[in-house]
Structure 1
């Protein structure tokens, strides 16, 4: 992850090297933190780069997120789809421990983004011939690339957000939250375009009889178990011609995202906090951050939930509720509603959080996700009540917008003196959530998965409230940038 020591003093003489005495979340002084040079970008350039990186991710994840949503339905034999997704995040953890600062220090943030995006192209191509021998190696590659991709993105946005706040004399944490909100607003529309592509292609061939017996419907929803798909024609794999068409379109989108980064994104010249460290030293630094930070420990369940809830909507809601009762061709249409809600709320939340703070939004997420999960436990999905499939997806999208936008911004706000180690820890915890959720997806029934989600969202919200209380007590020690 690209380094930027984000704490700054407006009165610094930028012609000289200065250091600042800051305080961590415990109120302890952090001496000798070297402050970054004044940015060479104008406000117009900063906004341009925000749009460029957002559009590039939109193109890339139009392909990947929609393909991820389909893995549990397209590649369900022996759990190939969900196991491959679990491998992605497992290798994301391993790579995230040491690759991001090292890679970015060597090739720079811009080219780290471009190279990492190419790893996603490999995975999309593997779906053209989805067998264990292609999917697992491709999952290893994309997992490695994802670690550097998201670390570079988080630090890039944190840097330009902090710069913009300094140039406009506005709140640093509020401005960073707005930048993350704009990014995720654009990024989450990938759910719309990618799912529209898949549903349009797959719906070209609609079965003559869409009726499904009550006996089969009884085994959908929370009662669904991985072994039940053999007796349900709604879960049959689409024709290979359609799969080739979808993957071909997705490959084009991903390649266009790489070109967007390569041509239009400006470089930012900073070194990482691992630039003078060996891999062993860097791992030690990350481990110390993880061990010493009280905030980090308390945020583990909430950060893991960001992975678990994303895996649930992509791997379990799509298969157990949508595909099981209405067919795989309807997955995209329902997920469009999820994507629209997610994108719209990402922008709104990013703008409002500087006035409301983080707490009300995390409470809202707890209510929406918790209520939806409890309802899904008792609801028997039925195609006659189509609106409910969309309504649950919308509620989940609103909550996901909070989780994805504000947890990122929260890490940038709480851990400004060492953003690289903090974001590496964030990715580690989030990836652990993905691994757990995708790892057991093909082996346990959906009701158990719902209970797991309920536990994590409840514990995560409660512990975040503790962080909020601790942070308010430490307000007097903060450096107002």
Structure 2
């Protein structure tokens, strides 16, 4: 479809759009709500991100943990398609509040994890996650654009700054959640023995059926203690959204408010017909693949296989800490070095790590290398999370719900594919696939940058 046809469906892609939102007059209110949003997501994902890192190790019988993660992100794909309609019906704040409750239910289902409890809870979480992230992206981008208007600053600069602050808080959830799991599992460390004879790292294959077999299961009372902490964290997150976050209307043309349900449901699909969105799809998928790899395969085949589940949290703290700090720094320096430089940094960092992990045989004698790999992978992830979200906000300021729904949809597809084939492919094959996808993604991203800078005059200034 030509750009003119897409414009007719979705409105003009001009950066200067008509706002239907109430612009708060005081700068302090923007920072207050940005802080509330950031802290709420920190509490919620302190529970979920850490539990996700542990699923493949805690619930490894019959692949239940990885199956539940695959179901979550498969359901998320569907929920992203209907997210704009849900947000238009409930509003940004109430969408986030209800969605966070689905995460609380998933945590509770882990108390008695079976296919009959965990899989339905995973479906529910997946249907909540799409609207959650679409509404978060729309809320943050709207606030940033409105803030830029009252401070007379560049929209892209403020969007990057707000994303940097939010993602610093959000990625720190890896630190807090993994610290909790490490301290709690440390008491259970005596139950684990060194994995003699296991093939760990890139050569770990499901057919060998040996990863983690030498570890005794975690004691139920220890697991329940951890889940109780995570459950409380999720409840606090929901309360912060309910009590401290102000309502905010997304920026859009007045006509969108009167659109029929069918058009709202199709808005996500329609936006794919724009080259700006279509060419970014592989990078969005990769951003899900790389997160799924570090959470599912690196934790299971490198850390748990070599040391035991009690070390997962400690190593992943390095990942979360670097991710959080890098997110804040990247959000600040983008206006000086440009997003292209940052995308290249992320690509070369993770490509280099893929090569290292293909060649390296994990050993307890090189414990520091586990932490270094996790930290550098966190740097790469910070690039994808800050820059893709900011770029989507810049390119589609007037179509935020379908734009961020697309982003989370394709990212979820990356998660789903990774978790789905995790029980069938060797780790080295997964690394080769991730590397090939990353190279392809960067080539297509480069095409977007070239077109908006040299061909599409509407974006000559960004």
Assess same fold via TM > 0.5: yes
Tell me, yes or no, if the aligned pair for 1:73 and 1:237 is still in contact at 8 Å: no
Match runs of 1:19-38 below 5 Å: 34-37=18-21
Q: TM-score, normalised by structure 1?
A: 0.89
Match runs of 1:209-228 below 5 Å: 210-213=193-196, 215-216=197-198, 219-228=199-208
How far the C-alpha of 1:279 sits from its partner, in A, is 3.5
Counterpart in the other structure of 1:200: 183
C-alpha distance in 2 between matches for 1:270 and 1:363: 32
C-alpha distance in 2 between matches for 1:39 and 1:90: 37
Question: 3-state DSSP class of the match of 1:54?
Answer: helix
C-alpha distance in 1 between matches for 2:415 and 2:192: 36
How far the C-alpha of 1:276 sits from its partner, in A, is 2.7
1:363 aligns with 2:344: yes
1:237 aligns with 2:237: no
Counterpart in the other structure of 2:287: 306
Match runs of 1:286-365 below 5 Å: 286-291=268-273, 293-365=274-346
C-alpha distance in 1 between matches for 2:160 and 2:344: 18
1:280 aligns with 2:262: yes
How far the C-alpha of 1:271 sits from its partner, in A, is 7.6
Tell me, yes or no, if the aligned pair for 1:322 and 1:331 is still in contact at 8 Å: yes
C-alpha distance in 1 between matches for 2:353 and 2:444: 21
Counterpart in the other structure of 1:411: 392
Cα shift readout 1:396-420 (whole Å, capped 9, x = no counterpart) = 0000000011111110011123122
Q: TM-score, normalised by structure 2?
A: 0.93
Given the alignment, which residue of 72, 80, 92 partners 1:96?
80
Counterpart in the other structure of 1:112: 95
Given the alignment, which residue of 225, 228, 231 partners 1:248?
228
C-alpha distance in 2 between matches for 1:353 and 1:200: 36
C-alpha distance in 2 between matches for 1:420 and 1:375: 39
> Where has structure 1 moved over 6 Å in runs of 4 or more?
none
Q: 1:472 to 1:117 in 2, by over 3 A?
A: same
How far the C-alpha of 1:232 sits from its partner, in A, is 4.3
Which deviates more, 153-162 or 435-444?
A: 435-444
Tell me, yes or no, if the aligned pair for 1:101 and 1:272 is still in contact at 8 Å: no
Tell me, yes or no, if the aligned pair for 1:232 and 1:324 is still in contact at 8 Å: yes
Question: 3-state DSSP class of the match of 1:39?
Answer: coil
Counterpart in the other structure of 1:3: none
Counterpart in the other structure of 1:10: none
Tell me, yes or no, if the aligned pair for 1:234 and 1:323 is still in contact at 8 Å: no
How far the C-alpha of 1:52 sits from its partner, in A, is 0.4
Tell me, yes or no, if the aligned pair for 2:211 and 2:300 is still in contact at 8 Å: no
Tell me, yes or no, if the aligned pair for 1:345 and 1:401 is still in contact at 8 Å: yes
Question: 3-state DSSP class of the match of 1:35?
Answer: coil
Counterpart in the other structure of 1:381: 362
How far the C-alpha of 1:231 sits from its partner, in A, is 7.0
C-alpha distance in 2 between matches for 1:288 and 1:106: 20
Cα shift readout 1:153-212 (whole Å, capped 9, x = no counterpart) = 000000010011111111101110110010000111100110011111111022378444
Which deviates more, 57-66 or 82-91?
A: 82-91
How many residues align structurally? 452
Gaps of 5+ in 1: 1-20
Tell me, yes or no, if the aligned pair for 2:21 and 2:251 is still in contact at 8 Å: no
Counterpart in the other structure of 2:53: 69
Question: 3-state DSSP class of the match of 2:71?
Answer: helix
C-alpha distance in 1 between matches for 2:456 and 2:154: 14
How far the C-alpha of 1:33 sits from its partner, in A, is 6.1
Cα shift readout 1:1-30 (whole Å, capped 9, x = no counterpart) = xxxxxxxxxxxxxxxxxxxx9x97xxx966
C-alpha distance in 1 between matches for 2:270 and 2:120: 32
1:155 aligns with 2:155: no
Question: 3-state DSSP class of the match of 2:423?
Answer: coil
**Superposed CA RMSD:** 2.2
Counterpart in the other structure of 1:57: 41
Counterpart in the other structure of 1:45: 29
1:86 aligns with 2:67: no
Gaps of 5+ in 2: none
How far the C-alpha of 1:476 sits from its partner, in A, is 4.4
C-alpha distance in 2 between matches for 1:365 and 1:171: 24
Q: 1:236 to 1:288 in 2, by over 3 A?
A: same
Which deviates more, 263-272 or 77-86?
A: 263-272
1:444 aligns with 2:428: no
Tell me, yes or no, if the aligned pair for 2:290 and 2:434 is still in contact at 8 Å: yes
Q: 1:227 to 1:203 in 2, by over 3 A?
A: farther
Tell me, yes or no, if the aligned pair for 1:220 and 1:381 is still in contact at 8 Å: yes
